């Protein structure tokens, strides 16, 4: 431990990892704790839009200006996480003309490059737009991979000496003498990388300052410290299609409404979203009508969506906040601004600040302001460098060499790997070993998988968000077990089996919302491969009772080898005891 | 001249083949019409009859458990004799390619998931791997492959309490292919015994593979490989490896593309040829024609021309959700060609269970049939007087969980095929 102040950050989403990186770069000691994987909460459950600011150009111009500014910064420092797709605000016959004009003017007022396109020009960019689209505004919207971005932020923070603890849930906020002095966490396995089947433990982490960046869960952390943080969690559904029906972000150009955006993301497009206040960020209904609304409403913009294949849906919870007494009824009216709640000023409880509200696109700017605030507590004047220093993976992304030849990869695989890895491509892909593809849908090779395992241990869900493996069409049906096989020999069989079970269940969870047509057929095939061909649902190793092997066919001896090995018909009667002997290993 | 047969079977998988073969046992003229490649390329090639009745198991005697199945289960409709008839026809068709017919007991075959699976018939290539055999085993994996890790498979088998010592070894295949070569490329190298450089000299792939494995045997009397040991010359490849290794060699059935499934498909199609069944593949059935309640013809779309196939009797063996004999959209589930009644909830959120391996209603989706495999409508009356169904298009059982899908295909295929031929 250095003698610089030690700050504990609660929350491993974009805000938390952004703060951890910023503070670590300014020389502070940082520990970040996250109860699940990085991005486990809201960040991993958004549509991956890198806002141009166009969305807020009418309703909230300060936010719009922040967005375009940060949009430019992220293109620079997080090049390997960003795809500059461009975006369109599309007007349909029943969308108001004056709003279209306000949008166009608003973009220009905020410094957002915006260009009016005729219907034909818009369809030249996106041929699948509905025939009755009247015109569009082109803006620099983009897509950003929130997983890759958070992992890169955390990795950078680590390089600057931070401790990043995932699967460490805060169970108490330590308050001594009227001051916050740290937190108590419960480790899912042990401290460090998660290893399945190892028992957990609790740990009290003392700190000079605590930053509560747990988003929609900020109220719960506040409660542990005895202060009220009135977050208003609001859920939104995102539905994922199996191919890119559009290559640019398509927004509906009308004041506000559910189901008004389509974001191309890697090999998919994501349809979003709804905005509905919920009581509990961990327990809210995920409903059929929400999925249907996405498909039905957005196919008014892009009609082929109606017949396209949906691979899964997921829900995210926004950490909306408004100052007490504002009394907004409709969550869509609540500001997307962020609020810094210094509990010393607000509640007479020194040692902790909570961050609530905010937008993903401006996470870095938020982190900067919060880090400024934290530094001010200690009288530190170190300046923020996060807008200038590229994230790991984006340091030198300008030279995209011919990796296809270099790594013996077929072109689409090579391209995707290199895009994901950015400037880390050399380091990760040059293993000198055969590098077969593990996940075909997303073109993820063994080298990337091994690199992910070295970062995240036996947690295959953490591996998934690092690599995208198991996130394509088959939703893991063809690759979950391959990913688990990559854990050997570093991790033993029970660990690999538990990791596989956990990933398979997680993949199923989202796929359930897409079970009709092609994806129902896929689900049946996945079920058949895992249950029939592998028999993972009737696995004798998972059963309480030992199996009487002698009661089964031991072979007819036909075609057995010569001599003594011809005794292949010999059956064993001791199967009943062996399991218990072995079970105790 | 219009195409006219006594019996037209739609679907070229296990059930369709069995239906066509059993119809052809009479003098009936039979045509099999299939669209895409059958789902056998996804299948393990194992012939499961029943391993987990009503969630219990694995059971060693599938016949003893039949009585506990619900009345609308395909097995309850056709009865034990139909299962035995189906297996008998299967044994006749596959000859010495398959084992297991010497006993009613299920065999336990190692899977690439590291478990063991109860099955009634297994390819000869998998025979030396049975889990009730107590000889020590080596499981081999290839570093250049990702389907499984042999050490995990071996440890998983041990965790299941198998009555033999088993260890796993990950080896390099003696011939290098591009990183994402298909498993069939490995099979071809062994089929042709392609020359490779090994230990400073030029040898065949088979010998080189055996030499690679040898130092890892450590007393194992049998060696399991992922299913990749040749295609056309599979038994020759295996025999040569056995003689080089001094141990028996077996294959662990794998996922797609499954060589045991493809080999079975070849065996079925050559049996269909021998039986005089006409085969039309590559084009989908898109429509049909009726006269009253009798089906007159099915229409095949051949390069946008609709070609009618007339027959007296029809068998629907188009598969379930995987084979696309059963289709669905957000509102409903239907049988793909005739729109036959498929019982299902109107709320699609009732089609599945919350758990990945829970009791999924979708796994039971399929048409309703009577005890002669005639397809019934929503009022339990025959949809057409001359349409029968067989295999996964028939609903009512979660064959995946039960490990009964091949058995259901055999039994219903035989009943539908024989019934069709008898009704001409």
B1 has pLDDT over 70: no
pLDDT of residue A332: 79
- Asked if B355 lies within 8 A of A517 by C-beta distance, the reply is no
Give per-residue pLDDT as tens, A509-533.
999 999 999 999 999 999 999 999 9
Give per-residue pLDDT as tens, A246-280.
999 999 999 878 999 999 998 899 999 999 999 99
On whether any CB of chain B is under 8 Å from the CB of A517, the answer is yes
A563 has pLDDT over 60: no
A167 has pLDDT over 90: yes
In degrees, rounded to 5, the angle at the alpha carbon of residue B243 between the alpha carbons of residues B237 and B249 is 60
pLDDT of residue A561: 35
The alpha-carbon radius of gyration of chain A (Å, integer) is 26
- A412 pLDDT band (50/70/90 cuts)? low
* Residues 6+ positions from A304 with CB-CB distance below 8 Å: A128, A245
The better pLDDT of the pair B86, B303 is held by B86
What mean pLDDT do residues A492-513 have?
96
Distance of alpha carbon A6 from alpha carbon A359, whole angstroms: 27
Instruction: Give B-chain residues touching A308 at CB under 8 angstroms.
Output: none
pLDDT of residue A557: 62
Q: How far is CA A348 from the centre of its chain?
A: 35
> Which residue of chain A comes nearest to B258, CA vs CA?
A533
- Asked if B116 lies within 8 A of A535 by C-beta distance, the reply is yes
A2 has pLDDT over 60: no
> Which residue of chain B comes nearest to A550, CA vs CA?
B132
> Which residue of chain A comes nearest to B331, CA vs CA?
A516
Instruction: Give A-chain residues touching B149 at CB under 8 angstroms.
Output: 485-486, 488-489, 496
pLDDT of residue A581: 35
* pLDDT over 70, % of chain B: 100
Instruction: Give A-chain residues touching B349 at CB under 8 angstroms.
Output: 288
pLDDT of residue A326: 81
Long-range CB contacts (within 8 A, 24+) of B206-212 = B206/B237, B206/B240, B206/B241, B206/B244, B207/B240, B207/B244, B208/B174, B208/B175, B209/B173, B209/B174, B209/B241, B210/B240, B210/B241, B210/B244, B210/B245, B211/B174, B211/B244, B212/B171, B212/B172, B212/B173, B212/B174
The b/e string for A184-198 (b: 16+ C-beta within 10 A; e otherwise) is bbebbbeeebbbbee
On whether any CB of chain B is under 8 Å from the CB of A554, the answer is yes
Burial class (CB in 10 A: 0-12, 13-18, 19+), A502: middle
> Which residue of chain A comes nearest to B161, CA vs CA?
A579
In contact, B121 and B99? CB cutoff 8 Å: yes
A568 has pLDDT over 60: no
Strand-pairing partners, residue A175, are A180
On whether any CB of chain B is under 8 Å from the CB of A432, the answer is no
A401 has pLDDT over 90: no
- Asked if B133 lies within 8 A of A570 by C-beta distance, the reply is yes
Distance from CA of B235 to the nearest CA of A (A): 11
Distance of alpha carbon A167 from alpha carbon A161, whole angstroms: 19
- Preferred mutation among A504, A520, A585 to probe B, highest tally of B CBs within 10 A: A520
Collapsing DSSP to helix, strand or coil, A170 comes out as strand
Taking the alpha carbons at both ends of chain A, their separation in whole angstroms is 39
Distance from CA of A473 to the nearest CA of B (A): 15
DSSP A559: T
Give per-residue pLDDT as tens, A65-81.
999 999 999 999 999 89
Strand-pairing partners, residue A264, are A269
Instruction: Give A-chain residues touching B117 at CB under 8 angstroms.
Output: 532, 535, 538
> Which residue of chain A comes nearest to B53, CA vs CA?
A538
CB proximity under 8 Å: A 252-311 to B:
288, 292, 295
Give per-residue pLDDT as tens, A6-47.
999 999 999 999 999 999 999 999 999 999 999 999 999 999
A506 has pLDDT over 90: yes
The better pLDDT of the pair A581, A454 is held by A454
Distance from CA of A579 to the nearest CA of B (A): 4
> A170 phi and psi, to 5 degrees?
-70, 125
Distance of alpha carbon B289 from alpha carbon B296, whole angstroms: 5
Token pair in block for residue A465: 């968000």
B103 has pLDDT over 90: yes
On whether any CB of chain B is under 8 Å from the CB of A2, the answer is no
B386 has pLDDT over 50: yes
For strands B107-110 and B116-119, give the pairing.
antiparallel
> Which residue of chain B comes nearest to A508, CA vs CA?
B356
Instruction: Give A-chain residues touching B401 at CB under 8 angstroms.
Output: 531, 537-538
- A400 pLDDT band (50/70/90 cuts)? very low
- Preferred mutation among A237, A474, A485 to probe B, highest tally of B CBs within 10 A: A485
Distance from CA of A547 to the nearest CA of B (A): 7
Distance from CA of A304 to the nearest CA of B (A): 15
Distances (CA, A) of A99 to A57, A118, A386, A388, A547: 11, 16, 36, 36, 70
Burial class (CB in 10 A: 0-12, 13-18, 19+), B79: middle
For strands B201-204 and B166-171, give the pairing.
unpaired
Instruction: Give A-chain residues touching B124 at CB under 8 angstroms.
Output: 559
- Asked if B132 lies within 8 A of A571 by C-beta distance, the reply is yes
Instruction: Give A-chain residues touching B328 at CB under 8 angstroms.
Output: 516-517, 520
Reported as half-sphere exposure (CB side, CA atoms, 13 A), residue A90 has a value of 31
Mean pLDDT rounded to a whole number for chain A: 90
In contact, A293 and A252? CB cutoff 8 Å: no
Reported as half-sphere exposure (CB side, CA atoms, 13 A), residue A360 has a value of 25
pLDDT of residue A416: 80
On whether any CB of chain B is under 8 Å from the CB of A505, the answer is yes
Token pair in block for residue A473: 């069409």
The DSSP secondary structure of B247-277, one letter per residue, reads SEEEEE--SSSPHHHHHHHHHHHHHHHHTT-
What mean pLDDT do residues B41-54 have?
94
Which of B112, B158, B180 is the closest to A534 by Cβ? B112
In degrees, rounded to 5, the angle at the alpha carbon of residue A127 between the alpha carbons of residues A510 and A129 is 65
Instruction: Give A-chain residues touching B143 at CB under 8 angstroms.
Output: 433-434
**What count of other Cβ atoms lies within 10 Å of the Cβ of residue A562?**
9
Which of A537, A561, A565 is the closest to B357 by Cβ? A537
Collapsing DSSP to helix, strand or coil, B97 comes out as helix
Interface ipTM > 0.90 = yes
CB proximity under 8 Å: A 396-425 to B:
408-410, 413
- Asked if B48 lies within 8 A of A532 by C-beta distance, the reply is yes
In contact, A290 and A296? CB cutoff 8 Å: no
- Preferred mutation among B95, B124, B134 to probe A, highest tally of A CBs within 10 A: B134
């Amino acid at each position: 431990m250095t003698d610089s102040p030690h700050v504990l950050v609660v929350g491993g989403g974009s805000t938390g990892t952004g703060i951890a990186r910023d503070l670590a770069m300014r020389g502070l000691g940082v520990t970040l704790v996250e109860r699940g994987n990085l991005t486990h909460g809201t960040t991993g459950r958004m549509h991956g839009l890198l806002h141009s600011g166009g969305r807020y150009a009418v309703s909230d111009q300060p936010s719009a200006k922040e967005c375009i500014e940060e949009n430019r910064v992220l293109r620079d420092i997080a090049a390997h996480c960003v795809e500059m797709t461009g975006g369109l605000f599309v007007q349909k016959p029943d969308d108001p003309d004056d709003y279209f004009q306000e949008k166009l003017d608003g973009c220009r007022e905020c410094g957002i490059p915006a260009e009016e396109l005729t219907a034909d020009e818009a369809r030249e960019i996106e041929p699948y737009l509905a025939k009755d689209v009247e015109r569009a505004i082109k803006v620099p919207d983009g897509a950003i991979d929130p997983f890759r971005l958070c992992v890169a932020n955390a990795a950078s923070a680590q390089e600057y000496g931070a401790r990043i603890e995932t699967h460490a849930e805060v169970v108490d906020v330590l308050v001594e003498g009227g001051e916050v002095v740290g937190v108590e966490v419960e480790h899912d396995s042990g401290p460090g990388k998660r290893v399945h089947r190892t028992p957990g433990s609790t740990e009290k982490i003392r700190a000079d300052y605590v930053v509560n960046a747990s988003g929609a869960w900020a109220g719960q952390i506040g409660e542990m410290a005895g202060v009220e943080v009135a977050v208003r969690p609001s859920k939104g559904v995102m539905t994922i299609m199996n191919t890119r029906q559009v290559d640019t972000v398509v927004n509906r150009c009308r004041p506000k409404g559910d189901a008004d955006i389509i974001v191309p993301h890697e090999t998919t497009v994501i349809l979003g979203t709804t905005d509905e206040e919920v009581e509990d960020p961990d327990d809210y209904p995920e409903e059929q009508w929400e999925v249907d609304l996405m498909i039905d409403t957005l196919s008014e913009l892009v009609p082929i969506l109606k017949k396209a294949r949906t691979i899964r849906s997921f829900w995210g919870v926004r950490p909306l906040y408004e100052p007490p007494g504002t009394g907004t009824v409709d969550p869509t009216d609540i500001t997307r601004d962020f609020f810094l709640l210094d509990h010393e000023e607000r509640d007479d409880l020194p040692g902790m600040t909570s961050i609530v509200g905010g937008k993903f696109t401006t996470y870095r700017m938020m982190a900067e302001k919060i880090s400024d605030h934290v530094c001010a507590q200690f009288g530190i004047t170190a300046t923020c460098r996060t807008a200038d220093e590229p994230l790991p993976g984006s340091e030198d992304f300008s030279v995209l060499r011919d990796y296809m030849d270099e790594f013996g990869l077929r072109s689409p695989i090579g391209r995707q790997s290199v895009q994901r890895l950015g400037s880390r491509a050399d380091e990760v892909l040059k293993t000198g070993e055969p590098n077969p593809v593990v996940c075909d849908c997303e073109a993820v090779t063994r080298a990337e998988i091994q690199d992910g395992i070295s970062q995240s241990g036996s947690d295959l869900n953490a591996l998934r968000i690092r690599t995208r493996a198991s996130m394509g069409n088959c939703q893991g049906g063809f690759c979950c077990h391959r990913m688990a096989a990559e854990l050997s020999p570093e991790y033993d069989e029970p660990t690999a089996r538990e990791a596989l079970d956990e990933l398979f269940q997680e993949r199923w969870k989202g796929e359930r919302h897409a079970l009709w047509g092609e994806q129902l057929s896929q689900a049946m095939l996945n079920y058949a491969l895992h249950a029939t061909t592998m028999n993972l649902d009737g696995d004798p190793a998972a059963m309480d009772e030992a199996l009487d092997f002698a009661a089964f066919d031991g072979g007819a001896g036909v075609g057995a080898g010569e001599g003594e090995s011809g005794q292949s018909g010999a059956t064993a009667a001791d199967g009943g005891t062996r399991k218990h002997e072995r079970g105790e290993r | 001249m219009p195409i006219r047969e006594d019996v037209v079977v739609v679907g070229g998988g296990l059930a369709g083949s069995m239906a066509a073969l059993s119809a052809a046992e009479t003098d009936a003229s039979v045509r099999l019409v299939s669209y895409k490649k059958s789902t056998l390329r996804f299948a393990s090639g194992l012939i499961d009859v029943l391993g987990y009745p009503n969630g219990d198991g694995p059971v060693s005697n599938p016949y003893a458990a039949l009585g506990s199945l619900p009345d609308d289960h395909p097995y309850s409709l056709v009865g034990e004799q139909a299962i035995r008839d189906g297996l008998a026809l299967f044994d006749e068709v596959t000859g010495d390619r398959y084992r297991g017919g010497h006993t009613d007991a299920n065999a336990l075959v190692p899977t690439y998931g590291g478990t063991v699976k109860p099955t009634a018939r297994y390819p000869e290539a998998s025979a030396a791997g049975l889990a009730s055999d107590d000889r020590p085993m080596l499981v081999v994996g290839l570093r250049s492959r990702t389907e499984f890790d042999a050490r995990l498979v071996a440890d998983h088998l041990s965790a299941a309490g198998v009555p033999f010592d088993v260890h796993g070894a990950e080896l390099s295949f003696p011939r290098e292919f591009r990183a994402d070569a298909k498993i069939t490329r490995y099979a071809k190298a062994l089929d042709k015994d392609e020359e490779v450089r090994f230990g400073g000299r030029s040898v065949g792939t088979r010998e080189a593979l055996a030499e690679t494995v040898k130092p890892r045997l450590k007393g194992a009397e049998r060696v399991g490989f992922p299913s990749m040991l040749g295609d056309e010359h599979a038994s020759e490849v295996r025999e040569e490896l056995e003689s080089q290794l001094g141990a028996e060699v077996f294959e662990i059935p794998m996922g797609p593309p499954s060589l045991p499934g493809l080999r079975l498909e070849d065996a079925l199609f050559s049996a269909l040829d021998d039986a005089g069944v006409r085969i039309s593949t590559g084009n989908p059935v898109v429509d049909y024609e009726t006269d009253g309640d009798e089906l007159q013809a099915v229409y095949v779309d051949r390069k946008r021309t609709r070609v009618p196939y007339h027959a007296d009797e029809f068998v629907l063996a188009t598969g379930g959700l995987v084979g696309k004999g059963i289709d669905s959209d957000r509102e409903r589930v239907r049988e793909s060609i005739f729109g036959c009644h498929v019982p299902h909830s109107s709320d699609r959120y009732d089609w599945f269970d919350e758990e990945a391996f829970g009791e999924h209603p979708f796994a039971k989706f399929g048409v309703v049939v009577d005890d002669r495999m005639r397809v019934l409508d929503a009022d339990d009356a025959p949809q057409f007087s001359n349409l029968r169904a067989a295999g996964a298009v028939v609903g009512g059982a979660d064959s995946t969980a039960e490990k009964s899908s091949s058995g259901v295909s055999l039994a219903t295929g035989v009943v539908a095929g024989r019934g069709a031929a008898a009704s001409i």
